[in-house]
Amino acid sequence: MAYESYQNDNISILTKSYRFDNLSLGADTVEIINESELHGFAKKHSKARKPLANWIQVTKAATWKTFAAVRETFRSADYVKEQVVFDIGGNKYRLISSIDYPAQRVYILDMMTHAEYDRWKA
C-alpha cells in the first residue's frame, strides 16, 4: 500500500523519523512476539512509553524480508551478536530482537537502557 494510506494523527508524527516504503496494512505484516516485555519495561521507564508505542505501531505495519528492509524503516537498527538491535528513544534504550523474516515475526529478547546495553555488548 502507498504511504498515503498511513496519514493520520499518530503516523504523521512518525514520518519525520521513519520511512514507510515497506509498510502495509495487509495480513502479511510483522507480528511481535513477547510484546509484554516492552510493556513491562515501559512501566519501569516512563520516558520509554511513547518511543516504544511508536516502534510497536511502525513494526506491526512492516513487511520486512531482510535486515536491509529493517534499516530502511529504522535507520539506526544494528546487527549485533546475531540479533537485531533497535535504538529506542533517541539512543536512551535498546531493544534486542530476533527476526524470522519468512514468518514475519519479531521476537523480543530483551529491552534495556543504553548503559545496560553497553555491558551486554561488551
Sorting pLDDT into bands at 50, 70 and 90, what band is 2?
very low
pLDDT mean across residues, the chain: 82
- Structural domains of the chain, count: 1
Instruction: Give the CATH number of the domain where residue 95 resides.
Output: 3.30.2310.20
Residue 2: CB partners within 8 Å, gap ≥ 6? none
Split at pLDDT 50, 70, 90, the class of 14 is very low
pLDDT at 91: 87
Q: What is the pLDDT of residue 22?
A: 54
Quote the CA–CA distance of 17 and 86 in Å, as a whole number. Answer: 13
Higher-scoring residue by pLDDT: 35, 27? 35
Q: Which residues form the domain of 93?
A: 3-121
* DSSP-based three-state secondary structure for 93: strand
